[in-house]
Amino acid sequence: MNSQSTQATTSEPGISFAVVLGLMAGICSLLSAGAAVVLPKMATDINISTTLSVWVISGFSLAYGVTMAAYGRIADLIGLRLPLTVGTIVMSIGSLVAAFASNFGILLGGRVLQGLGGAAVPVLGVAIVTSFNDHKLRTKGLALVTGLSSAGAGIGPLVGGLLEYVGTWRLSIGITAFNAILLALIWKKVPHDSSNTEFDLIGSLLFTGVAAGLVAVIQSVSTGITVRIIGTVLLVVTVPSLLIWVKNHPTGFLPVSVYKNKEAMRATFATISIPAAWFSTLVAVPIYLHSQGLEPIEIGIVVAPSGLIGFLSAKYSARVIAKIGANRTLIFAAFCSVSALLIAFYGSHFAHPYVMAVSIYMVTLGFGMAQPSMVTRINQVVTADVRGIALGIAIMTIFVMGSIAAAIVGGFSDVLGIDYTMLCLLVVPIFVLGLIWPTKNRPRW
């Protein structure tokens, strides 16, 4: 590492830097939520079924999730600036492609590009603020990034509905191109220290194949036998290949110091209850409310309070974690997920659309608490040289689970109905509670 690079990263940026990172993360969250609320209009405009249109969410979420770990690992090796820049540019290009798409194939391709690029923002944003030496700045920065991300998810339906009301659903899809402008404001201050370790491309591709195959198999319930065969083949080929590759490359894409770190993995999987509830309600609530006669702007207004809830929960998460610990905070978040799924079931089963919307309030509250708890715990148990990949795997797990949850809603709601599909998803937060509940042999942390 040369002296110029070292000098570039020794002076820490101010809180305004974290605000811009938080806004970028918020716009990425808004992308998913804003697209969900216009799915019915989008499906009508490009002449596809509502079930097929769910791929606009799950395809983005899959690309978004599976590349997060890659960005984290790349940042460990070459620094944070270049992957953040490349990711933001790719996301902006994808936004424009999707916004001007004339058919479903182009739209889906643009959304996948958005996901592949946008994945850089949340994982590298968290990595940047957690690398700050000043504890107060680090705490405030993390609260801002997670808080604005939660707020973006909360107000996404309102923004998406408003843009569709004043113009077209295409504005809701293309809004993330603004992240390129935000990055330009802070680009010079983004750290860019690097190491001499090589990037494990094969390990990264195998890991991506496993996640893509899993989502394809789940979504195939509604998309047909072709997608099921593709997903099955991917899993048959990539799962054993990944296991062999990781075993023979202990410092590769999935370093042994990360995946054999029981506490890091426990913290990672302790968060999956949130995306299971978040993405399932994100898809199910707008579809159900639209079926009850509400327009996108009306749906956005109904769920808009979740933006404030998400921001406040993330803002005060540091105090909560300091008072009761990350373990109990994640338990609280899991109960938020249980409540959200039960409320969604009740609202859809007994035809109370406005009650169903409350499920999004609950899951946003849980998300604002869960992600800082997960980041706090991982920072405690991993070394600095693998922090990027550890956080990348953790945040990636959130969005891969979210993609799977969206795929479950899209694939099974026509078979089971939205109500019983939401009820089935309760297995995820129940699993999480069993994973993190303190016992004699597993003390609270």
Asked if 103 and 180 sit in the same domain, the reply is yes
Asked if 244 and 367 sit in the same domain, the reply is no
Asked if 296 and 391 sit in the same domain, the reply is yes
CATH at 133? 1.20.1250.20
Has residue 270 got a pLDDT over 90? no
The total number of structural domains in the chain stands at: 2
pTM given for the model:
0.74
Contact status, residue 241 vs residue 302, Cβ threshold 8 Å: no
Residue 215 is predicted with a pLDDT of 67
- Residue 119: what are its φ and ψ, rounded to 5°? -60, -25
Asked if 315 and 424 sit in the same domain, the reply is yes
Has residue 24 got a pLDDT over 60? yes
Asked if 214 and 273 sit in the same domain, the reply is no
Asked if 221 and 258 sit in the same domain, the reply is no
Question: What contacts 244, CB < 8 A, 6 or more positions away?
Answer: none
Rounded mean pLDDT, 88-110: 92
More confident of the two residues 45 and 388: 45
Asked if 168 and 218 sit in the same domain, the reply is no
Provide the pLDDT confidence category of residue 4 given band limits of 50, 70 and 90.
very low
282 within some domain: yes
Asked if 241 and 262 sit in the same domain, the reply is no
SS3 state of residue 321: helix
Q: List pLDDT tens digits, range 390-406.
A: 877 787 788 778 878 87
Domain with 170, as residue range(s), is: 12-190+253-436
Final residue before a domain boundary, out of 235, 252, 269: 252
Contact status, residue 122 vs residue 25, Cβ threshold 8 Å: yes
Asked if 226 and 329 sit in the same domain, the reply is no
Task: Name the token pair of 323.
Answer: 């008072």
Q: Which candidate, 21, 289, 15, places its Cα nearest to that of 134? A: 15
